[in-house]
């Protein structure tokens, strides 16, 4: 399988278990690696035979900005399902970063990484 990657998609969401996370919101960063076969698209130079990563980016940002959830695990699952709605995408790895997580000790980032496939 070939891979199309989107890295560093940023959006403000209101996800988290604490009231202040839901009220104030925070920035989430999403990385995607979508697996698909791009040979036909490349041979014909045809966008309709591959995944339109610009559309995927907009859809992912809409998920992050959309309905709040408690867990970034749930957010990652919703993002994965959004990517898999695109027929050429056979598998997707989703990383959701929550760099402003409410942790009381110094840290760089909190992430969840999931992989989902059509199989």
- DSSP H/E element including 76: helix 72-84
In three-state secondary structure terms, 41 is: helix
Q: Which of the residues 10, 49, 85, 98 is marked catalytic?
A: 98
- CA-closest candidate to residue 78, choices 89, 55, 94: 94
Location of structure tokens 């980016």: 57
Check: CB of residue 10 under 8 Å from CB of residue 28.
Answer: yes
Our answer to whether residue 85 is catalytic in this structure is no
Do the bridges between strand 91-97 and strand 111-117 make them parallel or antiparallel, or are there none, so unpaired? antiparallel
- Tell me which residues are annotated as active site: 98
């Amino acid at each position: 399988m070939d891979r199309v990657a989107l890295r560093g998609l940023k959006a403000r969401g209101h996800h988290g278990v604490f009231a202040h996370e839901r009220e104030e919101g925070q920035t989430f960063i999403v990385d995607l690696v979508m697996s698909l076969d791009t040979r036909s698209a490349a041979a014909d130079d045809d966008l309709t035979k591959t995944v339109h990563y610009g559309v995927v980016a907009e859809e992912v940002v809409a998920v992050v900005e959309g309905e709040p959830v408690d867990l970034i695990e749930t957010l990652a699952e919703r993002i994965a399902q959004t990517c898999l709605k695109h027929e050429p995408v056979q598998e997707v790895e989703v990383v959701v970063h929550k760099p402003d997580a409410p942790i009381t000790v110094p840290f760089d980032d909190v992430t969840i990484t999931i992989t989902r496939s059509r199989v």
